[in-house]
Structure 1
Amino acid sequence: MKTNSVVWFEIYVAEMARARKFYEAVLGVTLEPADKMAEDWPEMWMFPGEDNACGASGALVKMDGVSPGGGGTLVYFSCEDCAEQAGRVLANGGQVMREKFAIGPYGFIALATDTEGNMIGLHSMR
């Protein structure tokens, strides 16, 4: 069976309430708390997703010993028009690193930093 390479992502945060507020406002979604699987399970709030849909889902995670911040991994969120979500970033405590720009036949992207210092990408076809 062929599948996409990415099946799940986690964005690590220092302050869950602040991070949830940022992502819910910028992306226009509601995150849901994940069930604790064990006593020492980290606090997780999951992005909406469907098991049989294209793409990967993931969660915000607050875990002891793991810090948020810039690094070598970049998660892109699907948008109708990424300029719209990029426009919400600053008003919600983040920073736009690069405004919407074309990536040829693959659409458009914008790059932002969230309230926790994580770089994220916003992608759209228009």
Structure 2
Amino acid sequence: MTACSSENKYKTISQSKQEATEMINPVFHFEIPVSDMSRAKDFYEGVFGYQLTRQEVDGYDMAFFPRADGAAGASGALAKGDAYKPSKDGAIIYFDVPDIDVVLRNAKQRGSKILYEKKDIGGAGFVAEFEDSEGNRVALSQVRS
């Protein structure tokens, strides 16, 4: 006889599913690798219109995006240091924006290449991707209004 009966096993799985259903937006924080923090901070502030807050954390140069405690979505930062390598490969972070066309225009004015033109994805709205000042792939999402 095992220490865990099949009844307890299914109860645990069921509880895990309920907890997952109750959880909202499980991603808590992201960090975008940069090579030149001043250039990247200027780029992101100009493209998105955010004011980023620069500080050193555990020996790494970071610039934090605005954060609203208790609001939906994840917090994030630009990060410079030996552990951070800009790349178009790997995870793609989507920024929720009110108008993709404005953000793409701002990015192009700052020398960005458009990697994926604005695309209508039906009821979910629109998406697009561009290359930031550091060589990272950045994605945009706009909800259909």
Gaps of 5+ in 1: none
1:6 shift after superposition = 1.0
Please point out which of 60, 63, 86 is paired with 2:104. 86
Q: 1:3 to 1:113 in 2, by over 3 A?
A: same
Distance 1:57 1:107 in 2: 23
Give the length in aligned residue pairs: 123
* Aligned partners of 1:33 and 1:45 also within 8 Å: yes
Matching residue of 1:10: 31
Structure with greater proportional helix content: 2
Structure 2 gap segments, 5+ residues each: 1-21
TM-score by length of 1: 0.90
Report which stretch shifted further, 92-101 or 50-59. 92-101
| Matched position secondary structure for 1:89 | helix
Q: Name the amino acid aligned to 2:98.
A: E
8 Å contact kept, 1:14–1:68: yes
Assess, with a 3 A threshold, how the Cα gap between structure 1 residues 67 and 51 changes in structure 2: closer, same or farther: same
Q: Measure the CA separation in 2 of the matches of 1:15 and 1:37.
A: 16
1:108 aligned onto 2:126: yes
For residues 68-122 of structure 1, the C-alpha deviation after alignment (integer angstroms, 9 at most, x for no partner) is: 1111200011111111101111111221112211111111011101011100011
Identity, in percent, stands at: 38
Distance 1:87 1:37 in 2: 32
**Structure 1 letter corresponding to 2:118:** K
Secondary structure of the residue aligned to 2:24 is coil
Aligned to 1:31: 52
Q: Secondary structure at the match of 2:117?
A: strand
Residue 97 of structure 1 is matched in structure 2 by: 115
Runs of 4+ in 1 over 6 A off after TM superposition: none
Partner SS state of residue 41, structure 2 = helix
SS at match of 1:19: helix
Q: Which amino acid aligns with 2:73?
A: G
Give SS of 2:102's match: helix
| Cα drift, residue 58 of structure 1 | 0.2
* 1:63, distance to aligned residue in structure 2 (A): 1.2
Matched, 1:69 2:90: no
Give the structure with higher Rg (CA): 2
Check whether the contact 1:83–1:110 (CA below 8 A) recurs between aligned residues. Answer: no
Residue identity matched to 2:31: E
